[in-house]
Amino acid sequence: MGFQGNGVTFLNMDGTYISQQRLVCLPHEWIDLTDVAHTNLYCEPNSLRELEMRIRKRTRQGLVFIGSGNYHYISYLLTKEIKKPFTLVLFDHHTDIGTGEETIISCGSWVSYVLKLPQLQKVVIIGPTVRQYPHHSSRITVFPSSLCSPKILLSHIPTEHVYISIDKDVLCLDDAVTNWDQGTMKLSFLLRCLQELLIYKNVIGVDVCGEYPQASIHSFHPVSKEANRKNERANMRIAELCLQAAASHPRPA
């Protein structure tokens, strides 16, 4: 078991990682996507195809940093690459399943697209409040943070292979600052869950979003600086766990 990734990729959708200097010092691949139009919150079909084409050309597979939660739908493109039966484990304050009436993919509906993938066996979502998940399905399990534990999480995953998507809006304000309403999960709890998954499952990939938009406020403003400090710390802790697991269980040649 362990992490099947071989590196870190930054998808530059919105410039949010430029100010996280410790994070971008990690060995990584940088893919600039700021020139692709019509991608904020919703993504038009032509833009989605362009993003998919560019992302598929990356040379480092494994840990992907996406940017603001406005672009969380990119997780759908990353899961499309998976060829084995897998479970999507999503840490998010929202279900991102949508209403079923959307005609275009968005950061709030992308999970419904993943559910159509032939290799997807189950979705386990940790972090929404009870009022946020009126969806009932044998293929979807949703836990508020207060009702979950690493052991319970593992017991609801039917597959050997797992893909993990993390939106930092699941975290409390002490541990992250995003542009969405946030949950109450502590970073320490998220890291415990991540560590257990890395030990007991084959983690095919991990993506992280939930950065604080830099275009909305000057980067030297105290609010922006504090958001970057918290987010960079959380990102570093997640990256360190994944990279340690990858070093302990290198991918077969």
pLDDT, one tens digit for every residue, the chain (253 residues): 788 878 899 999 999 999 899 998 999 999 999 999 999 999 999 999 999 999 999 998 899 999 999 999 999 999 999 999 999 999 999 999 988 778 899 999 999 999 999 999 999 999 997 665 555 578 999 999 888 999 999 999 999 999 999 999 999 999 999 988 999 999 999 999 999 999 999 999 999 999 998 755 566 678 888 999 999 999 999 999 999 988 876 555 4
The helix/strand/coil state of 91 is strand
Cα gap 112→97, rounded to integer Å = 5
First to last CA, the chain: 16
- Note the pLDDT of residue 253: 44
Alpha-carbon separation of residue 91 from 131, 160, 206 (angstroms):
17, 19, 11
The tokens for 194 are 């991540």
**Phi and psi torsions of 195, nearest 5°:** -65, -45
CB-CB neighbours of 240 under 10 Å = 12
Residue 251's nearest CA partner among 202, 206, 196 is 202
Q: Could you tell me the domains of the chain?
A: 2-248 (3.40.800.10)
Q: Over the range 58-80, which residues count as b (16 or more CB within 10 Å of their CB) and which as e?
A: bebbbbbbbbbbbbbbbbbbbbe
- Note the pLDDT of residue 130: 63
What pTM was estimated for this model as a whole? 0.94
Cα gap 207→86, rounded to integer Å = 15
Cα gap 251→75, rounded to integer Å = 22
- Note the pLDDT of residue 34: 95
Tell me, what DSSP letter sits at residue 37? -
Tell me, what DSSP letter sits at residue 126? E
- Note the pLDDT of residue 100: 74
DSSP string, 20-31: -TTGGGSSEEEE
What are the beta bridge partners of residue 120?
A: 86
Residue whose pair of structure tokens reads 């005609």 in the numeric block: 103
CB-CB neighbours of 188 under 10 Å = 9
- Note the pLDDT of residue 242: 94
The tokens for 243 are 């990279």
Q: Over the range 4-33, which residues count as b (16 or more CB within 10 Å of their CB) and which as e?
A: bbebbbbbbbbbbbebbeebbebebeebeb
- Note the pLDDT of residue 71: 97
pLDDT in tens, 142-191: 999 888 999 999 999 999 999 999 999 999 999 999 988 999 999 999 99
CB-CB neighbours of 223 under 10 Å = 12
Whether residue 128 contacts residue 136, with contact meaning beta carbons closer than 8 Å, is answered with: no
**Phi and psi torsions of 237, nearest 5°:** -65, -40
